[in-house]
Amino acid sequence: MDPIAHTVEARDGLALNLWERTAADAEEAVLYVHGSITCSRALFDPPVTGDDSHSWLAATADSGRTAFALDVRGYGDSERPPELEEPPGENGPPVRADLAANDIADAYAVVREEYDAVHLVGVSWGTNTCGRFVERDAPDARSLTQVAPVYNVPYDVEEGLAALGVDPDFGAYYYQEYETVKERQGEADELFEAIWRTQVESNQGVDEDRYLAQTGALADYYDCGRGEPPYDAANVEVPTLVIRGSADAISVREDATTLYDELGSPDDEAEYHELAGADHYVMHGHRRRALYDVAGAFQDRVGRI
């Protein structure tokens, strides 16, 4: 069964896309937020024919919570901000964490109208945007799970940007091309093709071999490398799980444990977990079931506190 698409009107009038996989008789929901490049359907619910094991949304619904996944403006099937309709050199990074937090807040409000308890999950840049939302708005979220976080990055971020072919003097967006991404991935299996197809068929798509990604996420990443993350973890006081893969070269242990140590959550409401052998895209890898289980168990526990 395919997820249901909803349109959420952002506070400034832009149309945001929100995916849903419904759990029967659910009293709780989980709102997922993607990272810097990949849209929410491709990241959390890739349409691999005959195999929903890569769908975190499906796993969440099967466990009894309704799952939602937001496309921040400029991603997936959400409306593009005007900067993405102009040449990239005409504007700077259009969607920074604080603006993305507005979109999360607007989606959260819609979900909260239906469900008594809402858990948040951010991945990669989504940890910046969810962290900023929780710090700034102090929502009544039941929990926050920060997966593959980038917070106070202890390595040279410019090397990571160079690997993406992005100049630190950011324009508004950059392109991801099929052959380049396939080479970086190392293979083009059925999962890769499903993710690629989802990306290019969304509003990020340019043609069948290319899609764009806005640079605000990378500008936030760059600031994390300068010790200026978009939020202060000390102001995150909801129950929080920090989780990374041991083979993740982007979200490194030193950074993830710094985030965990600085959380404002009470000690019995904060957890750190590491999945052996998992990389930055843990939700697509061989440890994905362990990820689903760890996050779900944390949500079960704090839901009873």
Q: What is the CATH number of the domain that holds 11?
A: 3.40.50.1820
Task: Please give the model's pTM, rounded to 2 decimal places.
Answer: 0.97
| Cβ neighbours for 165, distance < 8 A, ≥ 6 positions apart | 174, 180
Distance (Å, rounded) from C-alpha 186 to C-alpha 165?
Answer: 17
- Unique residue bearing structure tokens 């940007």: 161
- Unique residue bearing structure tokens 């190392």: 186
> How many domains in the chain?
1
pLDDT value for 25: 94
pLDDT value for 162: 76
Give the model confidence (pLDDT) of 104-160 as tens digits.
Answer: 999 999 999 999 999 999 999 999 999 999 999 999 999 999 999 999 999 999 887
Which portions of the chain are predicted below pLDDT 50? Answer: 305
- Unique residue bearing structure tokens 């979200």: 251
- Rounded to 5 degrees, what are φ and ψ at 78? -75, 160
Quick one: 265 exposed, middle or buried, by C-beta within 10 A (0-12, 13-18, 19+)? buried
Domain that includes residue 210, residue range: 4-303
Q: Look at phi and psi of residue 74 and say left if phi exceeds 0, alpha if psi is from -120 to 50, else beta.
A: left
Distance (Å, rounded) from C-alpha 283 to C-alpha 285?
Answer: 6
pLDDT value for 87: 97
pLDDT value for 159: 80
Beta strands at 15-21 and 66-71: parallel, antiparallel or unpaired:
antiparallel
Give the model confidence (pLDDT) of 13-36 as tens digits.
Answer: 999 999 999 999 999 999 999 999
